[in-house]
Structure 1
Amino acid sequence: MLYNSIVAYSLGYSEVEGHREEIFRCECQAPTLATVQALAILSSFHSGVAEQGLSFTYLGIAFTVSRTLCLDGENSSQYSNNLEKNHFSFVLWNLFCLDKTCSLYVGRRQNLRPFVTESTYWKISSLTEVGMIRGLFNPITPVLPEDEAFVAHVGLMQIASFIMEFFYSDDGLCRPGIDIAHVEQLSTLIETWNIHLPASLRGDTDDPETILSIEVIMIKLIFEWMKILLYQPFFQDSTSVTFTSPSFNQYGVSGDIYNRISTLCTRAKLCAPPAAFKITSLLETFDRQYGLRIIDSAAVQIAYVAGRMHLLGAIHNPDRRYGGATPGQGVIRCIDILRKIGETWPSGIASADRLDDLYRPVHDPREDEVGRMDAGSPPPYPSSK
């Protein structure tokens, strides 16, 4: 990869048209794992600088190249040992995670979609790519300490894949009809994932001075992000989203179904707003300990989703307080966070501007007078319906 980076940099000065395309084509015709990883890096980079067309192009090429290398394990005889098979598998699942993140960011069809559900930590789903690729993320060898964060990340992205499949259209908007059984199952799945999270990744502490590793902060951020995505449909207008169940019939909603929907609504109000404040506090912790300029570009999406959840609270429940902070103050904190991330990733600036535009009509000038605060636990939000 270093060699190819030097060649690519040098070709930037070449006056011969087509040199870069020719060498790029040759590299993809006889690819290595480094080729796939480099394409993934390019895709992630262009996503971070708000060039989604190039991001999707490089990601698509990476998937094509990965098939050439049989990273899906279809031809397992090519691997000399289980360790090598794990290594190839990790590269493919890295692409899977990148695909979920990009799809969630702009709303588009997933390259890898869920197939069947399991109920264990990393055996969360079997996946299929256009009916051709099937593989279960199940490391052959025991997970090494340095790989625990990656395994946990894949688990969360598999949950994200199901959330996208069941609750969101390819344009990123909520589906008009949502099966409450899927919400219940995924709620249990998220909690199961959390129960099996290794102690090394928990970072359970209330001390703001405790130094958390970057891996721990990112895992916590994505975990809270998933909770917002799962329960976000319950904050939509009741005319745009209908909650359904196979148990519905022509005679209306049974008492049991009504109670299940009511329970989920309550759970949504108790989970999603706190998750938004936890994300905000975690990102501020990252800024104090490491500086947001070095954070992963996926943080743009996470901060924006948290800001949107704060915005809903600012519109419907502006006086509710969370550890001394109001939803409006949460919006302002997220805008500040996004602008800091934007010093590295221009998509952060674009997201901050968009959130600022959405918030301006409901802005309370008093919010500007309040500095940053740590988030606590909010009281239940009134029903949005």
Structure 2
Amino acid sequence: MLRQTRPDTGSRKVVSHGTAEATGRKGKNSSKACSGCRRRKSKCDGGNPCSTCELYCDTCTYTQEQDGRRPAAKAYVSALEERVRHLEGLLNARQDPSGGAGEPHGAESHRTDGDEATQPFGPVDWRRHLPPELAEWDEELHEDLLARFFAYFNTWCLWVDEDSFRRDLALCLSSNPLAPSRTSFYSPLLHNAIIALACALSNDTRVSDRSAARACAARAKALLEDEGERPQLSTQQGLLLVGSYHSGNSLQGLGYLYSGIGFRMSQTLGLGIDCSPLLERGVITAAMKQQRTRVMWTAYVQDNYVGRNPSILRSTLELALPEIDPELDQHPWLGPANATEKKALPSFASSTFHWLCRLAIIEEHVLTAVYALRVNLYSAQTLNRISEIALDLETWASSLPISLRIAPQTIKPPPPHIILLNALYQFVVILLYRPYYIRHNAEMNSPLNDTAVKRCSSAATRIVALFELYQRSPGLRYAPISATQMAFGAATTHLLALVNAESAQQRKKAAELRDSTHACSRILREMGKGYTCALQTADIFDGLVEKWANPSPPADGDSPVSSAEPGETASAAAPVQLAAAQALDPHSDLARELLRLGWKPPTAASLPTALMPVPPSAQARVLNSALR
């Protein structure tokens, strides 16, 4: 019996002689108890409020905690029994030498918390989902390719969480019969996509002919239907990487196709929705929430690179910006190709990604304000928007942490993704002002036109300097695909400046700008050691320089490198040369498209009064520049 020891304050209710306690009748049984009765360890009638809490004038609340007194549901018991029978069958099959265990039905993990119930044991069969064409590979080469991907490519946009991927790779490819075939952090599609991209970053002769990369990409695409019906984070990540692979190989249509599927899959997975309520209810872990946020922001950043109007708008995302992980920032960065360096640098990878996402939001505003269809560049509304975006860019640059800034006098190269962040800022400046870049002697020059010339020229010069810093460590042949687009933006800006200087008879300035165009060509060709799209862009750019600026022969050491890789046949290099020729042929479809977009070739009588830039959409569709 409960003893009432609390003092009577006058607000307590007097126990009625008509209650169950007074009459000695047995109270009603209930399968749940309120928080107060649990704390008092007393019987609860399940009311709201219950009679006991009403007696003591306490707040009567019910929580989601599992009540041990409640009997288990029949469906739950049946499911447990079925699971026991299934596991017993697996054990019996494994003990039977005449029957293989095979892959357990339903072994694929569709849980959202990423915590696996099984642990890897035994050797890891890393070949299991890779194409048979890689039979001559050894584990050392496989590990080297993974290391190069995570050091050079992944740090730019944090495509994949390395620790989670490696952990689940060991789990899914172990000899554990209960191991899932894929998880939120590993899938066969993602595995093949990573290897396909990593082949471009390796100098090993076994991957130099690019046939291995093509086989991995084909295998990844073949797995799309297997994983697409019940996609996970790893499926979406793999599709984005497959899109990047095709873009790097000058297959822009396929690149846009597979990237677009990945963008749509982010909606299937609900990545744009704030999942904080799921975290509070314990449905997902904090690590999974962080990873979902990163994957969504990676898709958002890439959507601004594909060269078309953005399909993922910031206004449609409920997510906050990705949080900065101090532990990841302090993780040392040291590329496999630079392993001889004595001291590794802090990566600041998480901070770089955070500020990259901030910059991508501004880039979206540029694309929608300046490069939208039927936009009036000189309307009061557009000019006001340009002013707002310019202020946003300056605010971003002034707020950038010291650890991510690169001063013009910097000698020691920081981690490469920090260099790319600074280069992207300059590239967005070019995107904002290039439509207003006109010749010095045009009939109508507004203050904005003068500002555009200065800002674009300064940004292009800075991009070249940053890529020269990149070449010192780790080397432009290890740059991600998005660097190609930045280099091309700087190259065409220098070309416009060169045309202006020659038209104004500014010989000294023209000579300096000619050197800058040669430097841009060298940068693109160095990137072309990994990506054919960079070689193709360099060929097109060199052809434009020859037609527009009447260049003199390059200085010693500046001669363009041949587009064909060592051992590559003339027929393999022919498409690259053909694309350059089409860009210069006034009767080709490519030239007609360039003319429609405003790129007017000079005539013998005069040079054009305005050289309008090809927007990012045309670069992707016409000039075959890098998508990402």
User: Above 0.5 in TM-score?
Assistant: yes
Mapped pair 1:127 → 2:315: yes
DSSP 3-state at the match of 1:161: helix
User: Percentage identity across aligned positions?
Assistant: 25
Higher helix residue share: 1
Which one of the candidate residues 219, 226, 230 is aligned to 2:432?
230
Q: 2:226 corresponds to which residue?
A: 26
Mapped pair 1:150 → 2:353: yes
Which one of the candidate residues 178, 181, 196 is aligned to 2:399?
196
1:68-217 aligned at under 5 Å gives the runs 68-74=268-274, 76-79=276-279, 80-103=284-307, 108-113=308-313, 126-128=314-316, 134-139=317-322, 143-144=325-326, 145=329, 146-169=349-372, 177=378, 179-204=382-407, 206-208=409-411, 210-217=412-419
What amino acid is aligned across from residue 203 of structure 1 in structure 2?
A: I
* RMSD, matched Cα: 3.3
Q: 2:129 corresponds to which residue?
A: 7
Q: 1:330 corresponds to which residue?
A: 516
Paired with 1:20 and 1:339, the residues of 2 have a C-alpha distance of 28
Is the 8 Å Cα contact of residues 377 and 383 (structure 2) preserved in structure 1?
A: no
Question: How many Å apart are 1:216 and its aligned residue?
Answer: 1.6
Paired with 2:134 and 2:384, the residues of 1 have a C-alpha distance of 54
Question: How many Å apart are 1:278 and its aligned residue?
Answer: 0.9
Mapped pair 1:352 → 2:532: no
Q: CA-to-partner distance for each residue in 1:182-204, whole Å, 9 max, x for gaps?
A: 11101100011111111111133
Larger radius of gyration: 2
Paired with 1:286 and 1:85, the residues of 2 have a C-alpha distance of 34
DSSP 3-state at the match of 1:101: coil
Structure 1 residues 69, 313: closer, same or farther in 2, change over 3 A? same
Is the 8 Å Cα contact of residues 416 and 473 (structure 2) preserved in structure 1?
A: no
Which one of the candidate residues 230, 246, 250 is aligned to 1:50?
250
Gaps of at least 5 residues in structure 1 are 114-125, 129-133, 243-260, 373-382
Question: How many Å apart are 1:112 and its aligned residue?
Answer: 1.4
Q: CA-to-partner distance for each residue in 1:155-179, whole Å, 9 max, x for gaps?
A: 1111111111010136xx9865551
What amino acid is aligned across from residue 162 of structure 1 in structure 2?
A: H
Is the 8 Å Cα contact of residues 272 and 319 (structure 2) preserved in structure 1?
A: no
Is the 8 Å Cα contact of residues 71 and 92 (structure 1) preserved in structure 2?
A: yes
Paired with 1:52 and 1:264, the residues of 2 have a C-alpha distance of 34
1:182-331 aligned at under 5 Å gives the runs 182-204=385-407, 206-208=409-411, 210-236=412-438, 262-318=446-502, 319=506, 326-331=512-517
Question: How many Å apart are 1:81 and its aligned residue?
Answer: 4.4
DSSP 3-state at the match of 2:261: helix
Is the 8 Å Cα contact of residues 341 and 348 (structure 1) preserved in structure 2?
A: yes
Paired with 1:232 and 1:27, the residues of 2 have a C-alpha distance of 42
Q: CA-to-partner distance for each residue in 1:288-334, whole Å, 9 max, x for gaps?
A: 22111110111111111111101111111133767x96222211211
Structure 1 residues 366, 97: closer, same or farther in 2, change over 3 A? same
Is the 8 Å Cα contact of residues 439 and 500 (structure 2) preserved in structure 1?
A: no
Q: 2:240 corresponds to which residue?
A: 40
Higher strand residue share: 1
What amino acid is aligned across from residue 296 of structure 1 in structure 2?
A: P
Is the 8 Å Cα contact of residues 273 and 319 (structure 2) preserved in structure 1?
A: no
Question: How many Å apart are 1:12 and its aligned residue?
Answer: 9.5
Q: CA-to-partner distance for each residue in 1:57-104, whole Å, 9 max, x for gaps?
A: 21122123222221112554444344432221110110111111112x
Structure 1 residues 321, 198: closer, same or farther in 2, change over 3 A? farther
Q: CA-to-partner distance for each residue in 1:331-385, whole Å, 9 max, x for gaps?
A: 121111111111111111111111111110244554622778xxxxxxxxxx979
Q: How many residues align?
A: 324
What amino acid is aligned across from residue 265 of structure 2 in structure 1?
A: V
Is the 8 Å Cα contact of residues 301 and 360 (structure 2) preserved in structure 1?
A: yes
DSSP 3-state at the match of 1:31: coil
Gaps of at least 5 residues in structure 2 are 1-123, 136-217, 330-348, 559-608, 612-628
Q: 1:247 corresponds to which residue?
A: none
Q: CA-to-partner distance for each residue in 1:182-232, whole Å, 9 max, x for gaps?
A: 111011000111111111111335043x22221221111101101111110
Structure 1 residues 137, 265: closer, same or farther in 2, change over 3 A? farther
Q: 2:554 corresponds to which residue?
A: 368
What amino acid is aligned across from residue 244 of structure 2 in structure 1?
A: S
Paired with 2:610 and 2:253, the residues of 1 have a C-alpha distance of 36
Is the 8 Å Cα contact of residues 309 and 368 (structure 2) preserved in structure 1?
A: no
Paired with 1:168 and 1:137, the residues of 2 have a C-alpha distance of 26
Structure 1 residues 20, 233: closer, same or farther in 2, change over 3 A? closer
